[in-house]
Structure 1
């Protein structure tokens, strides 16, 4: 078992997620459109977890718009802006990934407070070794992190020391909210979902 899959197992364990993995979560068309293969652990996370949000907070982009933000559509939409100098600065010092260039950002997730999560994609590097590039707000500085997507997700939801991205401070029990689940609207709802003694 690879380290990345171990991080996925940790996410499953800490959230108590017990749904059967999805079949047919196909990324072939997206990868063909991008001209690059995406990280294995990210695709496995999408297979293990139906569309939804970790901690009702962090969303993974998906291959289609079925209850989720499509990854390719988000990338294609972002590409409309860098031709304008003012918009190009939004990603500085990075640039967006282009299939005819070697290195650039591909967004794989977002959160409820305008956090942005990308890979620094590099066609000369194995995708499972791409670093995560993230910022918790569009006006905040970037953080480049030498870790897999699954490790990043785990640390956001379960590591109180993972500043500035953690939602686990103070520590509570993480959970996964599928797209069909009711959003916790009250303090009582949140307390029930994040109760350290919650079963499942």
Structure 2
């Protein structure tokens, strides 16, 4: 366990994983993820906040709704490194004509959560989200950890799970059956 002095020296955004763990009551073992290999395969560095989330939780599902993807997941639907996780989007809220998005989470209801890979420093990547593939992207200037925390804690958040559940939980990939694998590409809402 880190000492208070060690935690104070870490950037604040790295603490979101601890906040999400507290909200979900998660106390699972740390996951070992081959970050260097994943980053080589992707051709880019990943945000530290996301790496801490990945090591804290691994691949799995929050509240039986939010499927969290990490490299090396044995579940295809929860594997970060897939050809369909990276896409180029047309017009978007940032005003650029074509941008690279890397998807790190989804829901069975068709929501997509990505980073806008617009900066060489991944710590500055905003979250882009949309309800389904026909909706425009929304930009959130926060980390993945903060975005998940707000989904779980803020009933007013546009992608809130807090308005549906009073308590929150996380189920690791071995204990969940992501909708994509269970039902193909069909729409199957869990909430």
**TM-score bracket, shorter-length normalisation:** 0.7 to 0.9
**Which secondary structure state, in structure 2, belongs to the residue aligned with residue 122 of structure 1?**
coil
Counterpart-to-counterpart distance in 2, 1:50 and 1:72 = 14
Structure 2 partner of 1:174: 168
TM-score using structure 2 length: 0.76
Instruction: Tell me the C-alpha RMSD between the 2 structures.
Output: 2.3
Aligned residues: 162
Q: Note closer, same or farther for the CA distance 1:170–1:34 as it changes in structure 2 (3 Å cut).
A: closer
2:56 is the counterpart of 1:48: yes
From the superposition, tell whether residues 182 and 119 of structure 1 become closer, same or farther in structure 2 (CA, over 3 Å).
closer
Pair 32,135 (structure 1): closer, same or farther in 2 beyond 3 Å: same
Residues of 1 paired with 2:37 and 2:15: CA distance? 27
5 Å-filtered alignment, 1:137-156, equals: 137-156=132-151
Partner of 2:22: 13
Q: Give CA deviations for 1:91-139 in whole Å, capped at 9, x if unaligned.
A: 3215xxxxxxx95211111112111111011343x21111001112222
Cα distance in 2, alignment partners of residues 29 and 114 from structure 1: 29
Shift of 1:78: 5.8
Query: Compared with structure 1, are the counterparts of its residues 103 and 137 closer, same or farther at alpha carbon in structure 2 (3 Å cutoff)?
Result: closer
1:121 pairs with 2:121: no
Residue pair 2:103, 2:114 contacting (<8 A) in 1 also: yes
Equivalent positions of 1:71-110 (< 5 A) are: 71-73=80-82, 76-77=83-84, 91-94=89-92, 104-110=100-106
CA distance in structure 1 between the partners assigned to 2:122 and 2:26 by the alignment = 26
Stretches of structure 2 lacking an aligned partner (at least 5 in a row) = 1-9, 93-97, 178-191
How far apart, CA to CA, are the structure 1 residues paired with 2:164 and 2:75? Answer: 30
TM-score, normalised with respect to structure 1: 0.72
CA contact (8 A) 1:71 1:107 kept: yes
Report the CA distance shift for 1:78/1:128 in structure 2 as closer, same or farther (over 3 A).
closer
In 2, are the aligned partners of 1:54 and 1:176 still within 8 Å (CA)?
Answer: yes
Computing the radius of gyration over CA atoms, which structure comes out larger, 1 or 2? 1
For residues 61 and 154 of structure 2, what CA distance do their matches in structure 1 show? Answer: 17
Match for residue 186 of structure 2?
Answer: none
